[in-house]
Amino acid sequence: MFQDREDAGKRLAKALRATVGPDALVVGLPRGGVPVAAVVARALGLPLDVLLVRKVGAPWNPELAVGAVGEDGTLVLNIEILNEFEISREYVERAALAEVREMRRRSAVFCAGRPRIPVEGRTVVLVDDGLATGATMEAAIAVSRAAGATRIVVAVPVAPPQTVPRLATLADEVVCLLTPPSFLSVSQFYDHFPQVSDAEVVASLKKGSESPCRTR
């Protein structure tokens, strides 16, 4: 169990000390991953950034991820769920476009016109407050690869046992503190797990590092 996102960030930072060097860039996935990433960045003395990715939900249940999309339009599909429920590719593409529009709105809020930190040639540490299906993290990995990251480390406090091995085939390293077999949701492993607002994301980015946001 973690007390809150700050506690999770402190524990992640300890686990990451031996695996990331001074060239690394810590990147939080909004919204909940950014407060965790801010703690990691401060503890390790690394720059902090944000990478926008969004879950693409099923037509009848937005919490069921049929895929995920990055701000640049990179789309990752959950083929098993698409096939099982016979969800059309056309639906996914329409839903993904709506998510891209929302990410661009958030990007304007989070970065506030600041130039972004390049990821090309760097180690990128992708941080979230926990994973369920891992679809958004898969999209984050794909976006980071496309932007030229030379090494990608996924860092999360908790995830289901079946999610970590799949991500390990996509990232260069996965650091996950808990992989409980009785996983139902990320929130069950936190004593305090409130929703994170856009304003809190902006505040975390300012506290975590004085560095600007990432460039394309």
Rounded Cα distance between 8 and 216, Å, is 29
- Catalogue all structural domains in the chain, each as residue range(s) with its CATH number: 5-50+115-208 (3.40.50.2020), 55-109 (3.30.1310.20)
Model pLDDT for residues 80-122, shown as the tens digit of each residue: 889 999 999 899 999 999 999 999 888 888 887 667 788 999 9
Model pLDDT for residues 137-151, shown as the tens digit of each residue: 999 999 999 889 999
Q: In angstroms, how far is CA 141 from the centroid of its own chain?
A: 9
Rounded Cα distance between 143 and 51, Å, is 9
Instruction: List, in order, residues 6 or more apart from 164 with CB less than 8 Å away.
Output: 174, 176, 179
CA Rg value for the chain: 16
Q: Flag whether the pTM goes above 0.95.
A: no
